[in-house]
Amino acid sequence: MGDFLQFIVTGMTIGSIYAIVALGFVTIYSVTKVINLAQGEFVMLGGMLMFTFTAAGIPYWLSFLLTLIVVSLFGMLMESTVIRRAGGADPVSLIILTIGAAIFIRGVASMIWGKGSVRIDPFTSNQSFQFAGASISPQSIWIMLIMFFIVISLYILIERTILGKAFQACSVNPKAARLMGINPKKMSSLSFTLSAGLGALAGLAIAPIMFPSYDVGIMLGVKGFSAAILGGLGSAPGAVLGGIVIGLVEAFGAGYISSGLKDAIAFTFVLLILLIRPSGILGERSVGKGGL
């Protein structure tokens, strides 16, 4: 029973991180139809910048804010220098473009920070507490709280504000949106900024328990992408559901089968779900033109 609960806690913690990363994917995808495979690198940058700022002696809360701002600006910069120039390229080219950006960022990061991993203090005390035989770290609670906070704020932003309406309009029909006085370029830029900020927040939240290094972004990005795909691209509730499900599958796979196989188990599960529902759990039913 203790083991079982422990796996649930671990799965929910890591699943919440995947969910935040997946929400980053969905934010960009729903406005621009671009899948940004550099999303994981924003998470990595979040952890690494936080380390640099705190190591430079800047207070914890200020480093936190600075990291969020710098990474968000970085997302904006990436949109204006790289994504916008590709114009209306096809999905395959766009995905390759963002892979290029990811390799570039990762390479630069390894030149700046080296190959080692860094250590960052948790938000609050490091003292785990026991609950029904499972050990829960305060940082796990923080991660889940941040996830809920993001989900609620995103919901309010998209459903209850004019900006959210503009996002939705661009997603449905950019030309019509422009006729109504919405600037799709500005929305695209905003979606990248917001998404990079979300990535950084995920990076900040996970850094104290993960010890980030220059290459953590690959797997986090791929898992976030699979969470977004599993939920059904473009669906925010789907992204959260996908993230949590993958986190739980991974935690139980690692616990009951083999920790070395956990990634293989998680991805096999994603493939099996796609086999049954080719457009994800909460995705639209139209699959588009057939694949292979």
Partner 1 sequence: MKGVQQTNWRGFFIFTALVLIFPLLISKSFYITQATFAGIYTIVAIGLGLLMGYAGQISLGQAAFYGVGAYTTAVLTATMGVSPWLSLLFALLIPALLAWVMGHTMSRLSGYYLAMATLAFGIIVNVLLVEWRSVTYGASGFYGIPNIELFGLRLTQGTTYYYFVWTIGLLVLAVSLNIVHSRIGRALRSIHDSEIASGAMGVDTGKYKMQIFILSAMFAGLAGWLFAHMSYSISPSSFGLDASILFLVMVVLGGSTSVWGAVIGALLITSISVLVHNLGLRFSFISSDFEHVLYGLILMLVIIFMPRGLFPTLVDWLKTKGWTTKVSSRADKVQS
Closer to partner 1 at the Cβ: 180 or 261? 261
Closer to partner 1 at the Cβ: 33 or 178? 33
Closer to partner 1 at the Cβ: 175 or 285? 285
Stretch that binds partner 1, among 62-70, 172-180, 183-191, 260-268 (CB under 8 A): 260-268
Q: Minimum Å distance from CB 255 to partner 1?
A: 16
Give me the helices (H) in 79-173, please: 91-113, 138-160, 162-172
Within 10 angstroms of residue 244's Cβ, the number of other Cβ atoms is: 22
Stretch that binds partner 1, among 55-63, 78-86, 191-199, 238-246 (CB under 8 A): 78-86
Q: Decide: is 229 part of the binding site for partner 1 (CB under 8 A).
A: yes
Angle of the 184-210 helix axis to the 216-231 helix axis, nearest 10: 120
Q: Decide: is 117 part of the binding site for partner 1 (CB under 8 A).
A: no
Taking a C-beta distance cutoff of 8 angstroms, is the pair 61, 192 a contact?
no
DSSP 24-67: HHHHHHHHH----TTHHHHHHHHHHHHHHHHHTT--HHHHHHHH
Phi, psi of 130 (to 5 degrees): -95, 140
* CA–CA gap between residue 21 and residue 85 (Å, rounded): 25
Q: Minimum Å distance from CB 115 to partner 1?
A: 9
Pick one of 28, 143, 166, 233: the residue that binds partner 1 (CB under 8 A): 233
Within 10 angstroms of residue 210's Cβ, the number of other Cβ atoms is: 18
Closer to partner 1 at the Cβ: 208 or 247? 247
Q: Decide: is 108 part of the binding site for partner 1 (CB under 8 A).
A: yes
Report CA torsion sign: 99, 49, 143, 1: positive
Place of tokens 């006729």: 179
Closer to partner 1 at the Cβ: 57 or 291? 291
| Interacting residues with partner 1 between 266 and 285 (CB under 8 A) | 267-268, 270-271, 274-275, 278-280
124: left (phi over 0), alpha (psi -120 to 50) or beta: beta
Stretch that binds partner 1, among 43-51, 134-142, 238-246, 265-273 (CB under 8 A): 265-273
Taking a C-beta distance cutoff of 8 angstroms, is the pair 232, 287 a contact?
no
Closer to partner 1 at the Cβ: 9 or 262? 262
Binding-site ranges for partner 1 (CB under 8 A): 35, 82, 85-86, 89, 91-93, 95-97, 99-108, 110-111, 218, 222, 225-226, 229, 233, 258, 260-261, 263-264, 267-268, 270-271, 274-275, 278-280, 287-292
